[in-house]
Structure 1
Amino acid sequence: MTDASNFIWYELMTPDPAGAARFYGAVVGWTIPAEGEPTAGGVDYRMIGRSDGGNAGGVLALNADMIAGGARPFWIGYIHTPDVDAAVAAIEGDGGGVQMPAMDIPVGRIAMVTDPQGAPFYVMTPAPPPGMEDMESDVFSVDRPQHIRWNELATTAPDAAIAFYKKHFGWGQEGAMDMGELGAYRFIQRGDVGLGAVMPLMPGMTAPMWSFYIGVDDIDRARAAVTANGGTITNEPMEIPGGEYAMNGIDPQGAAFGLVGPRK
Structure 2
Amino acid sequence: MPDHQPLAGAPCWIDLTSSDPEQVKPFYSGLFGWAADSNEDPQYGGYAIFSKDGKPIAGLGPQQEGNPYGNVWTIYLKSGDAAATADTAAATGGQVLMPAMQVGPQGTMAILADPAGAVIGVWQPDQHQGFSLVDEPGAPVWFETLSRSYTDALPFYEKVFGWSYTPIGDTDEFRYSQAMIGKQMVAGVMDADGFLPEGAPSFWQFYVGVDDLDAALAKVTELGGRILRPAEDTPFGKLAAVADPLGAAFQIAMIAES
Question: In structure 2, which of residues 200, 214, 218 is the aligned counterpart of residue 220 of structure 1?
Answer: 214
2:136·2:255 contact (CA, 8 Å) conserved in 1?
no
Shift of 1:246: 1.2
Q: Deviations over 1:130-174 (max 9, x none)?
A: xxxxxx644463x31222111010111112111111111112211
Question: In structure 2, which of residues 220, 224, 227 is the aligned counterpart of residue 230 of structure 1?
Answer: 224
2:17·2:71 contact (CA, 8 Å) conserved in 1?
yes
Structure 1 distance, partners of 2:98, 2:241, is 28
Q: What secondary structure sits across from 1:98 in the alignment?
A: strand
Shift of 1:39: 4.2
| Residue matched to 1:246 | 239
Structure 2 distance, partners of 1:189, 1:3, is 11
The two structures, once aligned, show a CA RMSD in angstroms of: 2.4
| Residue matched to 2:12 | 8
- Label 1:171 to 1:159 Cα distance change in 2 as closer, same or farther (>3 A): same
Structure 2 distance, partners of 1:207, 1:245, is 25
> Does residue 1:24 correspond to 2:20, yes or no?
no
Structure 2 distance, partners of 1:138, 1:192, is 21
| Residue matched to 1:147 | 139
Aligned length: 249
Letter in 2 for 1:75: W
- Label 1:232 to 1:187 Cα distance change in 2 as closer, same or farther (>3 A): same
| Residue matched to 1:133 | none
TM-score, structure 2 as length reference: 0.87
Question: In structure 1, which of residues 74, 81, 88 is the aligned counterpart of residue 79 of structure 2?
Answer: 81
- Label 1:230 to 1:2 Cα distance change in 2 as closer, same or farther (>3 A): closer
Shift of 1:227: 1.4
Q: What secondary structure sits across from 1:207 in the alignment?
A: coil
Q: Deviations over 1:41-90 (max 9, x none)?
A: x622000011x210101101114x14xx3122111111111111111111
Superposition pairs for residues 119-138 of structure 1, below 5 Å? 119-128=118-127, 137-138=130-131
- Label 1:231 to 1:166 Cα distance change in 2 as closer, same or farther (>3 A): same
Shift of 1:192: 2.5
Structure 1 distance, partners of 2:138, 2:42, is 25
Segments of structure 2 that go 5 or more residues without pairing to the other structure are none
Structure 2 distance, partners of 1:187, 1:229, is 34
1:7·1:140 contact (CA, 8 Å) conserved in 2?
no
Superposition pairs for residues 45-124 of structure 1, below 5 Å? 45-50=47-52, 52-63=53-64, 65-66=65-66, 69-106=67-104, 107-124=106-123
2:115·2:149 contact (CA, 8 Å) conserved in 1?
no
Structure 2 distance, partners of 1:2, 1:254, is 28
2:231·2:238 contact (CA, 8 Å) conserved in 1?
yes
Shift of 1:175: 3.3
Give aligned-pair identity as a percent.
Answer: 29
Superposition pairs for residues 158-177 of structure 1, below 5 Å? 158-177=150-169
- Label 1:110 to 1:92 Cα distance change in 2 as closer, same or farther (>3 A): same
- Label 1:263 to 1:81 Cα distance change in 2 as closer, same or farther (>3 A): closer
Q: Deviations over 1:84-126 (max 9, x none)?
A: 1111111111121111121111211111111111111121211
